[in-house]
Structure 1
Amino acid sequence: MNPSTHTRPSRTAPVTAALLSFVSLAALAACGGQPAEGAGDSPPPATRTTRFTENGVTVTLSVSDWHASQGTLTAVFTPEAKGFHLYSADLPPNGIEGVGRPTAMAVTGALKAQGRLTAAADVRSISVPGVDAPVPVYPDGPVTTTLPVRADAGGDATVLFGYASCSTRDGCTIPVSDHPVHLRITGDGPAFDAAP
């Protein structure tokens, strides 16, 4: 047998197949995918932002600056229609002479408030027909509020929201009281369940 014409069996086919398999798995992982086997076994992902809409207002809630079991809950209250305002967080629980409801955010369960709810908006007073005292409100449009919180331990917690929106031209929406948003406290901090 002539050595110059002798060919060895190819070893590149198994190596090429293994390399293609590895590249396919890497590409799948880079795109956020998972292999089909066991894909439905993991729990749904958690998030640090959630939102809900009720009675003409969308509330977007997020967790930020979480360090050493302390952080900040930020809620943005956004009226859906133009010309609507929210009431001051300092309004009495039943309003002024029954008019209005305070913009409120409170926590229960594994979270505790570390201070008062504050709003990044100036308060102005308006006159409401039939009400003797001025009524404190925020300017029309979205209002961002913050609440410092801490977690004494892991577990479940609930954020409770209250608010009402009104327009000097179109009247008021039905007030919202104690709307619950649930979250859980883990070693990584508070997290909301991902939307289904």
Structure 2
Amino acid sequence: MNVSTQVRHSRTVRLAAALLSLAAVSACGGQPAADAVGAADAAAPTTRFSENGVTVTLSVSDWKASEGTLTALFTPEKKGFHLYSTELPATGIEGVGRPTAVAVTGALKAQGGLKAAAEVRSISVPGVDAQVPVYPDGPVTTTLPVRADGNGDATVLVGYASCSTRDGCTIPVSDRPVRLRITGDGPTFAAS
């Protein structure tokens, strides 16, 4: 192999190693180039925050004719933690739990109900007579159809609580605001 071929081969090997490293980071929970939220719509406006043991990723996708889908991916930061059903009453069952919630105000309006892409299961909680509806441990994706009600400011209000049967619960989050701006070009999230 001549020097020129060796240099090209070395560059190719380094490039392949870098790409494999990037793929490994993405597969192991690193920050992928396009999250599962918005993977089909790479240009979708996206924002993220972490609070009380859960990372929430919000995006607006499929934006056409002032309508789209607001997606919220709720990811507990520790293994073994679950989120409560969107159908749970606002104050929980006998005070236990808080619903996974996403609502919009201002220049953005809901066009239907919040849907979760996870099966609800019921668990028994010591000291509570009724079963409590939760999602399986791990991430939960919710979607809310939305439409713009003109241009202006909008707010997404996010609520949730996460619990573990072994490690207890985190402090619930209620009506955590995330700001958006709606223009003729569509929605954009305000800087966090």
**TM-score between the two structures when normalised by the length of structure 2:** 0.76
What's the counterpart of residue 115 of structure 1?
112
Question: How far apart are the structure 1 equivalents of 2:93 and 2:108?
Answer: 30
Shift of 1:47: 7.0
- Could you report, residue by residue, the CA deviation over 1:122-179 in whole angstroms, capped at 9, with x for unpaired residues? 0000000000000000000000000000012000000000000000000000000010
Mapped contact 1:47–1:194 kept (Cα < 8 A): no
Question: How far apart are the structure 1 equivalents of 2:185 and 2:173?
Answer: 31
Alignment equivalent of 2:75, drawn from 78, 81, 84: 78
Question: How far apart are the structure 2 equivalents of 1:47 and 1:168?
Answer: 36
What's the counterpart of residue 99 of structure 1?
96
Question: How far apart are the structure 2 equivalents of 1:164 and 1:152?
Answer: 30
Number of aligned residue pairs: 150
Question: How far apart are the structure 2 equivalents of 1:92 and 1:119?
Answer: 16
Q: Say if 2:123 is the partner of 1:126.
A: yes
Alignment equivalent of 2:63, drawn from 66, 78, 81: 66
- Could you report, residue by residue, the CA deviation over 1:74-111 in whole angstroms, capped at 9, with x for unpaired residues? 00000000000000000000000000000000000000
Identity of aligned residues (%): 84
What's the counterpart of residue 182 of structure 1?
179
Q: CA RMSD in A?
A: 1.3
Q: Which amino acid aligns with 1:144?
A: T
Larger Rg over CA atoms: 1
- Could you report, residue by residue, the CA deviation over 1:4-63 in whole angstroms, capped at 9, with x for unpaired residues? xxxxxxxxxxxxxxxxxxxxxxxxxxxxxxxxxxxxxxxxxx970000000000000001
Question: How far apart are the structure 1 equivalents of 2:44 and 2:113?
Answer: 25
* Structure 1: gaps spanning 5 or more residues: 1-45
Alignment equivalent of 1:161, drawn from 158, 163, 169: 158
